A and B are shown apart, each in its own frame.
Chain A
Amino acid sequence: MVSGDSKNVQTFRKSLETDPNKSTGLAAIETLYDVLKNTRASTAGEFQDELGNAVKEMLTTDYSSTSIRSATNLFRKFISLAPVDITEKTDFSEILEFYRKRGVTFIERVSRSRSLISKYAKPFFRNNMNILTHSYSKVVLSALHEAHECGIEFHVWVTESQPDASGKRMHEALKSLGIETTLVLDSCVGYLMERMQMVVVGAEGVMETGGIINKIGTLNVSIIAKTLNVPVFVMAESIKFVDEYPLNQEDIPETFKYRSSVIAKNNLASEHPEVDYTPPQYLNLLITDLGILPPAAVGEELIKLYT
Chain B
Amino acid sequence: MSESSKKNPADNLKEAFQKLSNEVKQLGMVLGVKEGEQGQVSQPEPPKNEFAKDMTQEEKQKQRAAKAAEKKARAEAAAAKKAGGAAAPQQNQQKAKEPAPKKEQVAKPAKEQNQPKSQQQQQSAKPKEEKIPKSALKSTKNQSNGAPNREVQFDLQSNTTNVLRTSESEEVVVTPDPPIVPLEDAQSLANIHPAFLTLYSRCDKELIFDLEQLCQEFIRSFKLFLSGFASHSEPSTFSKEFDQAIRPQLTYLTHGGRWPLPYALGNIVRQLKREVLKLDSTSPISQQIEDIHQWLEDAESVNFEDAYRGIFASIEPKLAKTKCVLTYDWCPVVNHVLLESVEKRPDLRVCFVDPELNGRAVKHVNSFVDKGYKCQYTDLKSVGYAIKQCSMIVLGCSAILSNGCVATTKGSIQIALTAKAYNVPVLVVSQYFKFVDKVQSYTRMALLGRENIELLPSTLVTAIVTDIRILAPTAAPAVLKAKALDLD
Contacts and interface: CB of A to CB of B under 8 A. Distances in A.
Interface in A192-217: 208-210
Contacts of A210: 472, 474
Going nearest first, the 10 A-B pairs with the smallest beta carbon separation are A299-B475, A300-B478, A296-B474, A245-B470, A247-B425, A303-B478, A307-B482, A299-B472, A300-B475, A209-B472
Interface string B469-481: 1111011011101
Contacts of A296: 472, 474-475
Interface in B397-436: 423, 425, 427
B475 A303 contact: yes
B462 interface: yes
Contacts of A307: 468-469, 479, 482-483
Interface residues on B, range: 20 to 34
A307 to B, nearest CB: 4
Nearest to A294: B474
B471 A303 contact: yes
Contacts of A209: 463, 472
A304 to B, nearest CB: 6
B482 A303 contact: yes
B321 interface: yes
14 contacts: A208-B469, A208-B470, A209-B472, A210-B472, A245-B470, A247-B318, A247-B392, A247-B463, A248-B425, A251-B318, A280-B472, A296-B475, A299-B472, A300-B477
Contacts of A245: 463, 469-472
Contacts of B470: 208, 245
Nearest to B472: A299
Interface string B452-488: 0000000000110000111110110111011100000
A164 B378 CA distance: 49
Interface residues of A, number: 17
Interface of A: 208-210, 243, 245, 247-248, 250-251, 280, 296, 299-300, 303-304, 306-307
Interface string B376-398: 00000000000000001000000
A251 B317 CA distance: 9
Contacts of B425: 247-248, 251
B419 to A, nearest CB: 12
Interface of B: 318, 321, 392, 423, 425, 427, 462-463, 468-472, 474-475, 477-479, 481-483
Given A248-B425, A299-B478, A208 B472 contact: yes
Residue with the greatest number of chain B CB neighbours at <10 A, chosen from A209, A245, A304 = A245
A304 B463 contact: no
B479 A303 contact: yes
A299 B474 contact: yes
A105 B122 CA distance: 77
A209 B462 CA distance: 9
A280 B462 CA distance: 11
Contact of B482 (A208, A250, A251, A304): A304
Nearest to B462: A247
Contacts of B321: 250-251
Contacts, number: 54
A300 B318 CA distance: 21
Question: Among the interface residues B321, B470, B483, which one has the most CB atoms of the partner chain A within 10 A?
Answer: B470
Contact of A299 (B427, B471, B483): B471
Given A247-B318, A247-B425, A304 B478 contact: yes
Contacts of A251: 318, 321, 425
A243 B469 CA distance: 9
Contacts of A247: 318, 392, 425, 427, 462-463
Nearest to A299: B475
Contacts of B477: 300
Nearest to B483: A307
A251 B391 CA distance: 11
Contacts of A299: 471-472, 474-475, 478
A300 B481 CA distance: 10
A243 B471 CA distance: 10
A307 B466 CA distance: 12
A251 B462 CA distance: 12
A70 to B, nearest CB: 15
Nearest to A301: B478
A39 B169 CA distance: 111
Nearest to B475: A299
A247 B419 CA distance: 13
B110 to A, nearest CB: 68
B341 to A, nearest CB: 16
A210 B475 CA distance: 10
Given A251-B321, A299-B478, A303-B478, A208 B471 contact: yes
A243 B475 CA distance: 14
B472 to A, nearest CB: 5
Nearest to A247: B425
Contacts of B423: 248
Contacts of A303: 469, 471, 475, 478-479, 482
Nearest to A303: B478
Nearest to B471: A299
A253 B482 CA distance: 27
Nearest to B404: A296
- Output the residue of A208, A209, A247, A307 with the most chain B CB within 10 A: A247
A247 B472 CA distance: 10
A219 to B, nearest CB: 14
A250 B391 CA distance: 11
A280 B469 CA distance: 18
Given A247-B318, A247-B463, A299-B478, 8 more contacts: A208-B472, A210-B474, A245-B469, A248-B425, A299-B471, A303-B479, A304-B482, A307-B469
